[in-house]
Structure 1
Amino acid sequence: MREDIKIDDRALAISDKIIEKLQMINDPEIGLDIYNLGFIYEISLAENGHCEIVITFTGIGCECLESVPGEIETALKEIDEISEVEVKIVWTPAWKMTRISRFGRIALGINPN
């Protein structure tokens, strides 16, 4: 689990399942998944199965603004413990390249240090 993602205890208990799904959703412009790009800021899961994801993008003009929230919703609803998904898009704090994981940096050919 990334240390830069705020995650509550209920979501943490199934974080492996959540991360697996998020790593299958790519930003089509960059060619890397939204998890390793550092787009995910917060994950919470209520007792009733309502999952809330707080996410950002590289910018307001990002093509994936239209498709990614729906992809997140569809993917996470495949997890038994999640019955409903709400995706909140935020612009503060602004996304920075420093949020890209070490794996993501290697995959994109960026110095991993």
Structure 2
Amino acid sequence: MNDVAPATENASAIPPEELERLTGDIVAALKTVYDPEIPVDIYELGLIYKLEIEDNRDVTVDMTLTAPGCPVAGEMPGWVENAVGSVPGVGKVKVTMTFDPPWDQSRMSDEARVALDMW
């Protein structure tokens, strides 16, 4: 579902405790970003497909939207970039939008399902 762990090809040069803190802080920042039409944050909705933290602490986020025609499609990547970029210790942030695979409700966390009453 949405248990996004840092994706690395090789072992990270970042000390494990710092990587864990940084990942937690980035996830917390992602949870401050909401689709204005849905009262659940984008992380719990399962819109974050990948979070990659490089050794230099640059961050890449692959994300999607609930639908390609989402009215905030042009703005949301900027919101995500700003949120992640505000985390202390993060370098440059790159947000990539993808629709492969397409988002569906199975990506939502239990928290999102409860909030939206979608069981």
Return the TM-score normalized by structure 1.
Answer: 0.87
Which structure shows the bigger proportion of residues in strand conformation?
Answer: 1
* 22, 25, 28: which one aligns with 2:30: 22
TM-score, length of structure 2 as denominator length: 0.83
In the TM superposition, residue 71 of structure 1 has moved relative to its aligned partner by: 0.9
Q: Does 1:50 align with 2:58?
A: yes
Q: What residue identity is the alignment partner of 1:57? A: L
* Mapped pair 1:36 → 2:44: yes
Aligned residues: 110
Larger radius of gyration: 2
Query: Cα deviations across residues 20-41 of structure 1 (Å, max 9, x unaligned)?
Result: 1111100111221100000000
1:109 paired residue number: 117
- Using the TM superposition, give the Cα deviation of residue 12 of structure 1 relative to its aligned residue in structure 2, in angstroms: 5.2
Query: 1:54–1:88: 8 Å Cα contact kept in structure 2?
Result: yes
- Gap runs ≥5 in structure 1: none
Task: For residue 27 of structure 1, give the secondary structure of its aligned residue in structure 2.
Answer: coil
SS in 2 for 1:32: coil
* Cα distance in 2 for residues equivalent to 1:23 and 1:104: 11
Ranked by relative contact order (alpha carbons within 8 Å, sequence separation 6 or more), the top structure is 2
- Deviation sequence 1:37-76 (CA, Å, 0-9, x none): 0000000011222100000111210112122111111111
Report the RMSD for the aligned CA atoms in angstroms. Answer: 2.0
Kindly state the Cα deviation for residue 7 of structure 1 after the two structures are TM-superposed. 2.5
Whether the aligned pair in 1 keeps the contact of 2:2 and 2:108 (CA below 8 Å) is no
